[in-house]
Structure 1
């Protein structure tokens, strides 16, 4: 038998085995949506194949939509990563939920469906893989808020996961192979063998601390990531436009004045030193030069060598693609800058480095709502009115978000910030932690006794005591005791690994 014939036979056997395995119930389903009766729901394992076994990300949303779309339904698919999940705040406070409530108020005669397809840590490569499954379900609009994870998500230049090369074509081939059952079984076997050799040692927990590679603004890896992002967005646009559906692309917002850069290139004092630019922004803000401060803070973000926040070139790409036929822009960055004093987006609007606060999610939803209202005719809507919208507080009540949720989420935020992978914790971070603890101590007495007891049972007081001990802040320690003691709780510092 010739080599060509042998190779062809081997390939045929592989195809045959793959075909048989696809028919068997082996491993989790790869489809983005799973049919259940007369509805579809988001498959929690849809993004599993993009991550190593130990870091597999679930799609926690349980949004359902009808298999047979009715004539009065206005259906939007929202695509993105952890921002769409409300992280680090409760999931019900994410902007897709605010937006659905707003649209339902504005168009009471229509059935509004916002299908939230958010999955933590994914990027535009994953969205490109999802998009063909989205467009077959008759969306009236596809909305994308994504771009912060281009470096650190699957296939990114600084991803902490397995890298498969830098060629976009090779990455796309890899994504195709990841749908294979043979590929899945080989991956499972390698994972189990690795676990057997390593014993019971656990992999490091998932989080930003896994990101180690530094990439600098303007270097080859940075430019290549920009190219991949542009091409992925353009291909997503092609898929959506082919169905006659508009694509709404959102610019990205991040914390400018409240988040100190994680890593800096060159030495302190150099104009391309991220921390130097951030400190410059603080000084300019102090003397009232808010435009200069805004520019310095933006430069500090762009120069941060650990790319957790989308930098200026990525918003430029969003605006460029959104100018193409079939796409339109939701300028979230501009809306946040307009809402923040002097355009200095900080802790009021962003929880930590890039995820909006609950009020920030409300603003993001209002921004998207305003654009939809302006384009209602194009979308087949009629008679919408912004006058029907409720207040921020009313929407929070509607979504089931109250002071107890705020308090529990604030402890989670304190832990998240405390664990940010700084080589040395900056003063701005220490001040932020102290400010958050002070906010907790002012909020706790407003809860019911049962809610406070639940907070204590979860280790909330002990966690605050441990963080205060780390900060070495006697005033906060006394304040904690003054709050806890009258309620019958005497907090003792414990491990600060959980709230």
Structure 2
């Protein structure tokens, strides 16, 4: 009897499994006819938000853009970005054509993500793909060893397997759509901490990747592999591709972390440090000639220290020696031990493919340099290390349109109505650029600048110039002063905040109890020294004296 039930159970279980597999195979076949394999949640959300269909209308021309935060619009996203300006220009220059620009770039993305984003969106039939990539090649999280380690994890393997299934991908896409419509909002990629008063993470030694580190060369090769895979996909699916040279702030962005890549003796290091510090003092005093002399002597001992190259570049820029200044600024960028800008070697990979005729590389710098004092890229066109101003978005968007027209894509160049170009301010207003957007962008930048306190103060104060009573701007300014150790200034700002938004102090005090203690102490000191408090205490003492005399 037991054997009978056992055999029956096994038989039923096998039938259930077979019927499940047949049902899955049926749905997989249906979805392969009408669906697509899956991408990551970020890609799927864009597909859903843009209402992209696999069956493209015959009269529609699709342009997909890929890249990092610069293409995304960074601190001005989603209001302004190169892709959004491109969309407006195309509407103006080709008013009779139906053109869609869909941006799949992402904050902090590296070449591996960009390659996968291109691969996963090919089923949506892009007619043209534009790429802006290179700044994040060495960013922690984008490095080859870290990505390969992540791929080896069981959850990552399972996700890759399920994405191959059209049926599972379709169900997953439906779940994302349902959640975005009815469920809690999924947080976007952010520049900011959720709580302003969050201590800044320090630089980890394992995050450093100087040029003499073998991992540096490994990640250049990894970047090359990903670019090659993008080009191979484009060729296979007959999708025209344009790459735009990633540019950075050379003049106004100091290296993130400097190290001596040259081995120095104790005596050489001591001599170098004395010259370097003496040069910094002369630079602070504005004595550029002596600063150059001292920095040059230190440079002779060791030229690999990125901050020294940057400071020497600043001195030559002030003196008007622009060619030498540019060379030194580029050297400072390339010797940064924590690179957050495209280095010479990464640019070399793109140029290598361009020379071989495998890709078209557009010189972005040429269109931006008109906004750069001295012809060296920096502020105001690039506001931090790599992120463009809104004016920069407009120039890059216009450049994209012109390069598309030059190749007779979408329509012959003679059909393009460049005479319909509208003023910058008019388009900016149409996109939604406003004073409030500028304040929001400034505050994102305050968070983004990390320990670059001078920049943080500058952007916080600029936000307050536009909106003097903005509580978030005051919080950012106060917290920056606090981290700098200028606690008196910080507490003065917190007192202003108390008058404008007293409820925000509760969150501040919860996040940083030390601020609560200091604030209460200074409030108490101000109270006991106030005239009203002194008069009140005298009155109380007098009443007590009268009461005692009456009793006696």
TM-score by length of 2: 0.64
Residue 116 of structure 2 is aligned to residue 122 of structure 1: no
Secondary structure, aligned partner of 2:243: strand
Aligned counterpart for 1:242 among listed residues 210, 221, 236? 236
Residue 408 of structure 2 is aligned to residue 408 of structure 1: no
Aligned counterpart for 1:180 among listed residues 142, 157, 161? 161
Q: CA deviation at 1:108?
A: 0.5
Distance (whole Å) between structure 2 residues aligned to residue 371 and residue 344 of structure 1:
23
Aligned counterpart for 2:417 among listed residues 385, 389, 407? 385
Contact conserved, 1:78 with 1:96, CA < 8 A, in 2? yes
Secondary structure, aligned partner of 2:49: coil
Secondary structure, aligned partner of 1:164: helix
| Aligned 1:52-451 pairs, distance under 5 A | 62-152=49-139, 154=141, 156-157=143-144, 164=149, 178-181=159-162, 212-266=206-260, 269=298, 270-325=302-357, 327-375=359-407, 377-382=408-413, 383-417=415-449, 419-420=450-451, 429-444=452-467
Q: CA deviation at 1:251?
A: 0.9
Distance (whole Å) between structure 2 residues aligned to residue 116 and residue 224 of structure 1:
29
Aligned to 2:41: 45
Contact conserved, 1:59 with 1:118, CA < 8 A, in 2? no
Unpaired segments ≥5 residues, structure 2: 1-16, 26-30, 165-197, 261-268, 274-297, 513-552
Q: CA deviation at 1:252?
A: 0.7
Secondary structure, aligned partner of 1:144: strand
Number of residues of Structure 1 aligned to a counterpart in Structure 2: 413
Contact conserved, 2:37 with 2:163, CA < 8 A, in 1? no
Distance (whole Å) between structure 2 residues aligned to residue 443 and residue 40 of structure 1:
47
Distance (whole Å) between structure 1 residues aligned to residue 363 and residue 473 of structure 2:
38
Q: CA deviation at 1:477?
A: 8.3
Q: CA deviation at 1:319?
A: 2.5
Q: How big is each residue's C-alpha offset from its partner over 1:21-63, in whole Å with a ceiling of 9 and x where there is no partner?
A: x959xxxxxxxxxx9xx99999671579xxxxxxxxx869933
| Residues 1:473 and 1:151: Cα distance change in structure 2 (over 3 Å) | closer
- Root-mean-square deviation (CA, aligned residues, Å) is 4.4
Distance (whole Å) between structure 1 residues aligned to residue 38 and residue 59 of structure 2:
22
Secondary structure, aligned partner of 2:347: helix
TM-score by length of 1: 0.70
Q: Structure 1 stretch 320-329 or stretch 142-151: which is displaced more?
A: 320-329
Secondary structure, aligned partner of 2:478: helix
Distance (whole Å) between structure 1 residues aligned to residue 69 and residue 431 of structure 2:
18
Contact conserved, 1:74 with 1:112, CA < 8 A, in 2? yes
Q: CA deviation at 1:222?
A: 1.8
Aligned counterpart for 2:477 among listed residues 464, 484, 488? 464
Q: How big is each residue's C-alpha offset from its partner over 1:417-437, in whole Å with a ceiling of 9 and x where there is no partner?
A: 1x24xxxxxxxx443333323
| Residues 1:77 and 1:297: Cα distance change in structure 2 (over 3 Å) | same
Contact conserved, 2:479 with 2:490, CA < 8 A, in 1? no
Q: How big is each residue's C-alpha offset from its partner over 1:363-393, in whole Å with a ceiling of 9 and x where there is no partner?
A: 2212222211222x24545511333222222
Q: CA deviation at 1:332?
A: 1.6
| Larger relative contact order, structure 1 or 2 (CA cutoff 8 Å, min sep 6) | 2
Distance (whole Å) between structure 1 residues aligned to residue 462 and residue 342 of structure 2:
29
Distance (whole Å) between structure 1 residues aligned to residue 354 and residue 376 of structure 2:
25
Contact conserved, 1:462 with 1:492, CA < 8 A, in 2? no
